[in-house]
Amino acid sequence: MVDKKMLKALSEQVTKEFYSAYLYMSMASYLEDKVLPGIAKWMRVQAQEESCHALIIFNYICEQGCKAELGAIKAPPSDFKSVTEVFKHTVEHEKLVTASIHAIAELAIALKDHATKQFLEWFIKEQVEEENSSETMLRQVVRLEDEKALFLLDKEAGARLFALPLPLVGKI
Ligand SMILES: [Fe+2]
Ligand SMILES: [Fe+2]
């Protein structure tokens, strides 16, 4: 069992990860509408990863013998000014998620909750990758803003494949 405060923080993080998935689905929808199926696929994979993050935390709550308290998932924005704005928003959102994960890690340290601290290490590493991949996409989009270049990036981004995160292998 984890401390009540920790259960609340972990439960809220499950909701935040599902919101991330929802946000990226909304961005995928915008990109599909702009006839950029490759970049939309990149965003769909991003959304799948976020649902997995939610499940990993949900599984951990269950493994701790606790009951997750799932909150409401708010509606994501449905329109964006440009592809650049989509990726700016993605980078900002990932930074917020990193801060949220770090805050839970700090709570784990304060509570001397070594199990949760260790559990969160995968997420801390994952966020470094998430910030890096979204920043790379943003830099590429900014550099290739004209239509022809975006078309080329669309082909490359469409090659992204979904891989089940290691903590979920054999668990869903
Ligand atoms: Fe995530
Ligand atoms: Fe993420």
Question: Where residue 108 sits, what CATH number does that domain have?
Answer: 1.20.1260.10
| The three-state (H, E, C) secondary structure of the chain, written as one string | CCCHHHHHHHHHHHHHHHHHHHHHHHHHHHHHHCCCHHHHHHHHHHHHHHHHHHHHHHHHHHHCCCCCCCCCCCCCCCCCCCHHHHHHHHHHHHHHHHHHHHHHHHHHHHCCCHHHHHHHHHHHHHHHHHHHHHHHHHHHHHHCCCHHHHHHHHHHHCCCCCCCCHHHCCCC
Return the structure tokens found at 165.
């995160």
Mean pLDDT by 10 residues, the chain (172 residues): 97 98 98 94 97 98 97 96 96 98 98 98 97 94 76 84 93 85
Q: Tell whether 165 is covered by a domain.
A: no
Ligand in nearest proximity to the CA of 18: 1
The residue type found at 164 is L
Q: How many domains does the chain have?
A: 1
pLDDT at 154: 83
Q: Tell whether 11 is covered by a domain.
A: yes
Q: Tell whether 167 is covered by a domain.
A: no
pLDDT at 147: 67
Q: Tell whether 23 is covered by a domain.
A: yes
Q: Tell whether 67 is covered by a domain.
A: yes
pLDDT at 120: 98
Q: Tell whether 13 is covered by a domain.
A: yes
Cα(28) to centroid(ligand 1), Å: 16
Q: Measured between alpha carbons, how far is 64 from 75 in angstroms, rounded to an integer?
A: 30
Q: Tell whether 63 is covered by a domain.
A: yes
Q: Tell whether 84 is covered by a domain.
A: yes
Cα(93) to centroid(ligand 2), Å: 8
Cα(127) to centroid(ligand 2), Å: 7
Q: Which domain holds residue 79?
A: 4-160
